[in-house]
Amino acid sequence: MDPRSVAARLVEVPGVVGVTLGGSRARGEHTPDSDTDLGVHYRPPLDVAALQALADELSDVPVVVTGPGGWGPWVDGGGWLRLDGHAVDWILRDVDRVRRSGQDALAGRFDWHFQVGHPLGFPGTTYAGELFHGVLLADPAGELAAARLTGFPPALRTAVVGRLDEARFLLGGAAKAVPRGDRAYVAACVFRVVLLCVHALHADAGRFVLNEKGAVAATARLPRAPRGFAERAQALFAAAPGAALDGAAELLDETCSVTGAPGHPSA
């Protein structure tokens, strides 16, 4: 299964303007069993029936292609195919929303949005990040190349690192829940604090976080990550509530020191 040959067929579908390779294969971190993620960038109206017909032709197994919005407001739609026995995911991306995502990143506009399957939330800059870290497979009119960021925006780094203020606030509230035995609330706060640190450290390194899955392990590979970040972060979720908050506070302090977060002595 050659991703470029699949991409060449995809851009023949009315509405499709380009195709990217994403996920672990774009980053060079894949295993032989890793899925192949293809970002199918389109401009409405997309001919979903033609996309379904192509999937029926190529896939080893029956597949249902879901149109725009079918998977939710941010994940959008697509299909899960098997080509030559290999899992290939088609993931729809509205090219105009991708472009606006890049504009938001350049302006430092950053927030998370509710999306099933994303417990922290879906960052509005994810589309820009996918294109930034992805590999262009087909881009006949050059639209994807034109929309692609040339570097990680300084304003976005400032905005993401600035969200560490929320982490400090969360720890204060969670400390009050420990005597009440509210383990669920404490665990939820610790999770969010850890992921806020993950996002800040990635932004400091000029990288986007595109998914919570594997994000802690990926953070440990960053050049300026706190020592033992992944092991320490994972251990928090097996610790007693008070110890978990103490450990989360240490990770936050070290993350603030690395990133020069506002309000930290090194800032």
Q: In this predicted model, what pLDDT tens digit does every residue of 137-146 receive, in sequence order? A: 999 999 999 9
Whole-angstrom distance, CA of residue 204 vs CA of residue 153: 11
CA 20 to chain centre: 15
* Amino acid occupying residue 53: A
pTM of this prediction?
0.95
> What is the rounded average pLDDT of the residues 18-27?
92
Whether 200 shows a pLDDT value over 90: the answer reads: yes
Whether 67 shows a pLDDT value over 90: the answer reads: yes
Distances (CA, A) of 262 to 31, 92, 127, 174, 191: 39, 37, 27, 22, 22
Please state the φ and ψ torsions of residue 36, each to the nearest 5 degrees: -105, 115
Average pLDDT, the chain: 96
Q: Are 192 and 120 in contact (CB under 8 A)?
A: yes
Whether 266 shows a pLDDT value over 70: the answer reads: no
**What pLDDT does 264 receive?**
58
Whether 267 shows a pLDDT value over 60: the answer reads: no
Considering the chain, what percentage of its residues have pLDDT values greater than 70?
98
Whether 28 shows a pLDDT value over 90: the answer reads: no
Whether 193 shows a pLDDT value over 50: the answer reads: yes
| pLDDT tens for each residue of 111-138 | 999 999 999 999 999 999 999 999 999 9
The residue among 266 and 245 whose pLDDT is bigger is: 245
Whole-angstrom distance, CA of residue 26 vs CA of residue 130: 10
Provide CB contacts within 8 A for 159, sequence distance 6+.
108, 109, 110
Cα radius of gyration (the chain):
20
Whether 98 shows a pLDDT value over 60: the answer reads: yes
pLDDT-derived band of residue 263, with 50, 70 and 90 as boundaries?
low
